[in-house]
Amino acid sequence: MTGFALGVDQEEWCGQLRALAAERLRPLAEKGEPGRVNRPLLAALGELGLLERVFASGALELCLLRESLAYGCTEAETALALQGLGAYPVLRAGSEEQRERWLPGVRAGRAVAAFALSEPGAGSDAAALTLAATADPAVDPAAGGWRLSGEKCWISNAPEADFYTVFARTGEGPGAKGVSAFLVPADRPGLSGAPLDMLSPHPIGSLTFDGVPVGPRDLLGEPGRGFRVAMDTLNLFRPSVGAFAVGMARAALDATLAYTADRTAFGGTLSDLQAVAHRVAEMATRTEAARLLVYAAAGAYDRGAGDVPRRAAMAKLLATETAQYVVDHAVQLHGAVALQRGHLLEHLYREVRAPRIYEGASEVQRTIIAKELYAGVVTR
């Protein structure tokens, strides 16, 4: 994809999504309790068919969906994205039995999914995870199994999810080669969790695994291939994290345009001041550049291009850093009014910080980009 432009049908769909987010989903989000799963909001996303679109669409449509929802209701966007992140490994690597049991509930907004990769000592360096899967034939006398022992941390939707995609060390090899993926229902004995008090409207918590039994039927894919399951999921969702960031940046930019065009100061409007106008121009240019990179990465994913990891990392890096810049400058141009509780920019200011960290911090994205670039260099 060398350029990006929406067709008429896509423009209309995005407009409908923005209106839907503002008019129907935002009121449900506002009734939710911060730090808790908003099940009525999830049910509405299922009823509207939006959760189904997460699993039935490619990366490009997923980005359009996330950007449009983020513009009108960040809580709805996040609830939808977390369902996709937690359940996508089941769609791609799960057995027919696993898919039939869990995915209908996820699509309907009844079953809450979570992606459990990070640990207290293995956040950015996910291959260093230590959650142990120790072989225990007693779990299933006919087929064998494992017991999970250790802790996960910073897990979105924990401890309220109905099931977790869990990555644990089964030891087939060193580093990433010895990691397996499991589908672990929340009611499995030995599994407990606690909420973390975070700057986030959705739940984030820790999970403790005290000899949690898992068998071959709980595996997602093959033993020792779990890290590939995680990376396949992140390669899809990283560009769409960028789309989420672009949606927030566009909302902040539009709010700033309206405010500065109307606010009187120094004998005119704020938009008459060159310092203000130039800053808004910079915000718009950076947002558009980030948006183009996000959709270029999504197009590469849908084409099955070989450079998806680099493009996905570039898209997430630029879009999340850009959104931070745009929202921060939007607050500056609005002044104190933007810091009032309930103001759009006060909300976006809190929301925009986390995407630069989760699903691979900006520093991790730079490492991925550099590694991919140098892999193609022929040295003497």
Q: What is the identity of the amino acid at 12?
A: E
Q: Select which of 61, 359, 363, 372 is catalytic.
A: 359
Is the separation of the CB atoms in 154 and 116 below 8 Å?
A: no
Judged by DSSP in three states, 199 sits in coil
Return all residues near 345 (Cβ < 8 A) that are at least 6 apart.
252, 255, 327, 330, 331, 334, 338, 339
Question: First and final CA of the chain: distance in angstroms?
Answer: 33
Return all residues near 210 (Cβ < 8 A) that are at least 6 apart.
149, 190, 191, 192
Is 67 marked active-site? no
Q: How far apart are CA 128 and CA 130, in angstroms?
A: 6
Q: How far apart are CA 73 and CA 21, in angstroms?
A: 5
Q: Which of 83, 75, 92, 65 is nearest to 35 (CA)?
A: 75
- For the stretch 355-358, contacts whose Cβ atoms lie closer than 8 Å and that sit 24 or more positions apart, written own/partner, are 355/241, 355/244, 355/245, 355/316, 355/320, 355/323, 356/320, 356/321, 356/324, 358/154, 358/156, 358/241
The total of other beta-carbon atoms located within 10 Å of residue 222's CB is 13
Q: How far apart are CA 44 and CA 56, in angstroms?
A: 18
The total of other beta-carbon atoms located within 10 Å of residue 30's CB is 12
Q: Which of 326, 318, 379, 317 is nearest to 352 (CA)?
A: 326
Phi, psi angles (nearest 5°) of residue 159: -100, 25
Is the separation of the CB atoms in 283 and 325 below 8 Å?
A: yes
Return all residues near 139 (Cβ < 8 A) that are at least 6 apart.
145, 146, 147, 213, 214, 215
Catalytic residues: 359
